[in-house]
Amino acid sequence: MSSTHPLRLDAHQHFWRYDAASYPWIEREMACLRRDFQPDDLRPLLDQAGLDGCIAVQAQASEHETDRLLLLAKRYPWIYAVVGWVDLCAADLEQSLERWHQASALSGFRHQLQDEPSPAAFMQTPKFNRGLATLQRHGKVYEVLIKACDLSAATQLCQRHDQHHMVLDHLAKPDVQANALSAWAEQLAPLAALEHVSCKLSGLITQAHWQHWRSDQLTPYLHTALELFGPERLMFGSDWPVCLLASDYPTTHTLIDSVVRTLSATQQSAIWGGNACSIYGIKGVSA
């Protein structure tokens, strides 16, 4: 008799057809990212890691990016959800959301808040807050992409918007190279105390020195996230292909597994996919 288990997912990765104008954040020192990354490139890596599929996340601030990812999700059913982009400050936000009403894979949205001239000020603007409230009324997840210096502003933002799931990307990018564990943990704790906020165990490896990082530099951040959020509000994400700046996919997966494997089977299952399924409304099990 065959058994089933919850889906095992990579909750954070990107696809793109590279051109410099569309992805200005890919700078000269990121040369390995200046090429196309498509689902057929990722699938063997997921198989090797024992993962059933993924959640595709926007990497470009355009509605075209959202449409492109939704087309990929139609073609590749193992792309279980899409986190797209929409201008939350736009007067026609409702019309944009209505245009995607039938796109069942579209589970959430993200904006590169970290790239705003002042992320903290941007998170306080009335237009942005009205837009985020609209997203929550529509039952869409919002992913918060910030650096650790903006954790206080992000906490206030999430306190204002508690009607649906909010997800912190990349543990708020702690300054690993400066050994800023204590300060980061102190800033993260108030955000983690908000029960509607979850966090992706993603993007950490590229916060260390790309050529000379060590696992023992990074695992304390993972243990702290476990302590603050608990295993019921954490998700694995590779941040592929961005992780390639510092390592390969198997090593990125192994880093997270080295911490998660110490938990109970139920807790491991939650982090490897159960939480993502619940937060992003993904239905299904793996045979």
DSSP string, 135-152: HHHTT-EEEE---GGGHH
pLDDT tens, residue by residue, 240-267: 999 999 999 999 999 999 999 999 999 9
Q: Are 237 and 202 in contact (CB under 8 A)?
A: yes
Nearest Cα residue to 204 out of 166, 167, 232, 245: 245
Residue pair 220/181 in contact (Cβ under 8 Å)? The answer is yes
Distances (CA, A) of 64 to 101, 139, 145, 201: 16, 21, 20, 27
| Confidence class for position 92, pLDDT limits 50, 70, 90 | very high
Tell me, what's the pLDDT at 1? 40
* pLDDT tens track for 105-148: 999 999 999 999 999 999 999 999 999 999 999 999 999 999 99
How is the chain split into domains, by residue range? Answer: 5-286
Mean pLDDT (whole number) for 38-56: 99
Residue 6's pLDDT is what? 84
Task: Give 158: exposed, middle or buried? Use CB within 10 Å, 0-12, 13-18, 19+.
Answer: buried
CA end-to-end span of the chain: 11
DSSP alpha helix (H) spans, the chain: 39-49, 63-75, 93-99, 119-122, 126-137, 151-160, 181-192, 215-229, 249-260, 265-269, 275-280
Amino acid (1-letter code) at residue 73: A
CATH of 5-286, one of 2.60.40.420, 3.30.230.10, 3.20.20.140, 3.30.360.10: 3.20.20.140
Write out pLDDT tens, residues 2-36: 456 789 999 999 999 999 999 999 999 999 999 99
The pLDDT of residue 287 is: 53
- What's the predicted TM-score (pTM) here? 0.96
Confidence of residue 285 (pLDDT cuts 50, 70, 90): low
115 contacts: CB under 8 Å, gap ≥ 6 = 25
| Interval 185-197 mean pLDDT | 99
- 201-221 pLDDT per residue, tens: 999 999 999 999 999 999 999
In degrees, rounded to 5, the angle at the alpha carbon of residue 157 between the alpha carbons of residues 151 and 162 is: 120
